[in-house]
Structure 1
Amino acid sequence: MAQRDRDRPAAASTPGLLAAPKKDKAKEEAKAKEEAKAKEEAEAKAKEEEEAKAKAEADAKAEQEAKKKDGDVKVTEGKVPPPDEEAKVDPADAEFVEEKGKTYQYLGLRGRMVLIPQFMFGLFGADGGKTVWSPQFGPEFAVRRNGFEYDLWLTYASYSMSNAPFKSSSDPDNAYEIVSSSIKTISIGSDFLWSAPMNPRLSFVYGGGAGIGIVFGDLRRNQSYPPNGVAGDPNGYLPCRDVGSPSVPSQPSGQYCDGDNGHYGSYKEPSWINGGSKPIVFPWIAPFQMGLRWKPVPKMAVRLDVGFAFPGPFFFGLSAQHGLF
């Protein structure tokens, strides 16, 4: 009996010992499920963050590429600059900035002065002549887009020259004639100019231009002679009155005021059409010109030009334009 009583505690404790492993296993399974769930949530959150980051980078890159196409910002290869690196314009100058991809039209007036030095006549096989200043002016219509413009122009030009001695370099001294010009042209053409902005209001411009003009006016020619009959400075020669008048022998041979041609009195050189040497059309060729373009107000531009041209070779000019659209 006593032995059975001693055995009871041991028997009574048996169910507890058998149940303990089951409770521990349930806890471990619950813990494992919680850890798996937490891991899944962490992975899902990380994936969402990566997707959001990738989308943000893609959106930023797309926006930057769009700006690059418009020329608003410079993008280095493999790097998109942050917004604070973009060029910023002073609000006071913002209205002077031309939008990329937008076309601007201007209407205005231009004036030019062309310098034809005396030595230019020698380059074309002539002796004599004098320096000529040729004023030119007229309207112009400009179209600008992305820093490039073409200016269509119509100009009146005067190539007037007072009396000057003139002859071919291969002719003798008694071939000198006194020549004067009232030649004028009306020309149409275009300039093609690129701009390099220095600030929103001021740009450096460069390019060239060409045109063609119709010639009108007179080219007068009169044979001449030295007062003393001795060849000298042709600028002091006098106009012959007629053939043999006055009769002045030429040294060493020949005769001034001879009958080789009828260039006396009111003689005017015929045009090409009538067999003469006066042109009927005259070109304008400016292979290079440069200058400054300044905008005093948003819809007005003033341009100062200098360059090389034929006829010339030097010219300078000033243009003023007002924006239309």
Structure 2
Amino acid sequence: MRLPIASLFGLLAVLLAPPVFAGPGDKEANQGMNAARGGFCKRAIPLLESAESQRHRPSSAVPLADCYVKQGELLKASDIYHKVASEKKAPGYNARDVAAITSAKKKAAQLDARIPTLVVTPAEPYEGLVVEIDGEVISEPSAPHRFDPGEVLVIVARAEGHEETSQKITLKEKQRREIKLRLKPKPGGKKPPEKPVAKKPPEKPPEKKPPEKPVAKKPPEKKPPEKPIAKKPPGKRPPEKPVAKKPPEKKPPRAAEKPVAKKPPEKKPPRAAEKPAEDTPRVATGPEERPKPAVEMPEPTPPSPRRQRDVWLGAGFQGFFIPQLMFGLLGEGGRDVLVPGGDISLSTRLGRRFDLVFSVAYARFWMDETPFKPKGHPDTDYEIVESDLQALQAGVRLVWNIPLDRDELFAFRVGAGLGVGWTFMGDLYRTQAYPGDAVPGDPGSFVPGDPYRYVKCRGPNNPVGSFRYCNQLDYDADHYPGYVEPSWFTRPKGRPQGLRPLVYPWLVLPEIGLALRPWDRVAFDLRVGASVTGLLGGLGIRFAL
């Protein structure tokens, strides 16, 4: 019995004895880090400060700086981040300390951009200038100084022969503020001596140049005398022959004209006084001529509008933009997704202003590796989601055309549409994920972090220590590389219903656009709208049949 009793006492001694390898401050550090992970920074700060005062470790210093940031003490946090970032791996540092040094460099750069700065610039040089901010004298006020945002700063300035001035300001995050300092001179005070102006030295008289030597001029060259040009004597013209003139013809005497009897003027019934038309031309009348009626010019007929075309065949680009905000309606994570595609349409005119459009469209719902978890689920439920789905959509739209000019060159279009989509090709992939900053083999390093740095689990508890993220304890027990999500019309035995869409409704409301019709049988359409699959955009061309 001695051996079992001795063994029992030895086991109790090991269990009840304090840990031999625990260093000073490790207990406070572990308690503080657990409180910081849970978001209880008021409780974590004194524990981590106590641990740091006993022994410095990057794994406890970085959570302390994180809590300082949440409390608004950015200067304290920045000092810790820069101190840790400048460290190198020392003996006794574990994987958590190495990860903390790596993360501190990134956090220090991000935090420095948030810390506001203040510059106090004197408007003119003041003798004996002293600037105090919150009671501390600033040696170089014109250099940028950093302060915590949200704090009330009291700035006091004084100089010889000038009145003391003070003001209060509050800086915001990322603010870069500059204050122009102007001091009022005291009554009866001496003005500062003016700086002597340096006089310019007298200009030297221009040096005398020696007289230039006269240049001998060449005598003008003599040109030989020009030979006189012999003139030809004027030629004699032959005398013109005289033209015989015809004697004037004698006209026979006319018989005496008989006087023409004048008709008495006809009496017309009196008419109402009429104003002469301004545009009616006046025609001179003789004794035997009557006035000609005025010729009326026909009015120009307005150009007739374009011929209405009843049937159009069109094609073009049609795509969707799914913003990350839509993922936030269902959970956390996601990213912006662009869904390209195209459509073929056939439209017919209803009445004079409405078009009924039938269309068939193609869409490619491709999404790269994206972290996502349902709303309200813990951080351990994050998965990496991928998609290479391809779909066909059939729909009908009603569009109202509003011409913007008489020739209907431009038209504003408003409408709505509905239809159905079918994912005929591709799959949806889901894989469990764990924090990418974790160190395999150290379960304590598997803590929540940036979900966009998570990586896929290779299997249950693979890598080692990831059992809280990579396990077989929930609905996603088999969500490992190669898992394909079943259709939402399929419900595997003992599992929730699949999430891969097979047939889905399609709705766009409203749809607005602009149509350009440069030719009678050709039109271009630009349209945008809001749909259940994201923001719609399209650009196409139509031909009249």
One-letter code aligned to 1:230: V
SS in 1 for 2:432: strand
One-letter code aligned to 2:433: S
Query: d(CA) in 2 for partners of 1:274 and 1:219?
Result: 14
Deviations along 1:117-163, one digit per CA (max 9) or x if unpaired, are 0011111x211111001112121101124111011000010111000
Find the counterpart in structure 1 of residue 340 from structure 2: 135
When the two chains are superposed, the root-mean-square deviation of aligned CA atoms in Å is: 2.0
One-letter code aligned to 1:107: L
Query: d(CA) in 1 for partners of 2:465 and 2:423?
Result: 36
TM-score (norm 1): 0.66
Percent identity at matched positions?
A: 35
One-letter code aligned to 1:316: G
Find the counterpart in structure 2 of residue 164 from structure 1: 370
Alignment of 1:121-270 (within 5 A): 121-123=327-329, 125-145=330-350, 146-199=352-405, 200=407, 201-216=409-424, 217-227=426-436, 228=438, 229-249=446-466, 255-259=468-472, 260=474, 261-270=477-486
TM-fit CA distance, 1:113: 2.1
Contact 1:162 1:180 in 2 (8 A): yes
TM-fit CA distance, 1:97: 4.1
Find the counterpart in structure 2 of residue 26 from structure 1: none
Residue 293 (structure 1) aligned to one of 500, 506, 515: 515
Query: d(CA) in 2 for partners of 1:109 and 1:285?
Result: 20
One-letter code aligned to 1:263: H
TM-fit CA distance, 1:109: 0.3
Find the counterpart in structure 2 of residue 319 from structure 1: 540
Query: d(CA) in 2 for partners of 1:108 and 1:306?
Result: 17
TM-fit CA distance, 1:244: 1.3
One-letter code aligned to 1:202: F
Alignment gaps of 5+ in structure 1:
1-83
Higher strand share: 1
Contact 1:162 1:181 in 2 (8 A): yes
Query: d(CA) in 1 for partners of 2:536 and 2:448?
Result: 36
TM-fit CA distance, 1:296: 1.7
Alignment gaps of 5+ in structure 2:
1-298, 439-445, 492-497
Higher-RCO chain (CA-CA 8 Å, sequence separation at least 6):
1
One-letter code aligned to 1:158: R
Query: d(CA) in 2 for partners of 1:248 and 1:213?
Result: 43
Residue 506 (structure 2) aligned to one of 259, 272, 284: 284
Query: d(CA) in 2 for partners of 1:133 and 1:248?
Result: 37
Higher helix share: 1
SS in 1 for 2:489: helix
Find the counterpart in structure 1 of residue 264 from structure 2: none
Query: d(CA) in 2 for partners of 1:118 and 1:175?
Result: 19
TM-score (norm 2): 0.40
One-letter code aligned to 2:363: A
TM-fit CA distance, 1:300: 1.1
Query: d(CA) in 1 for partners of 2:465 and 2:414?
Result: 55
Counting matched residue pairs gives 227
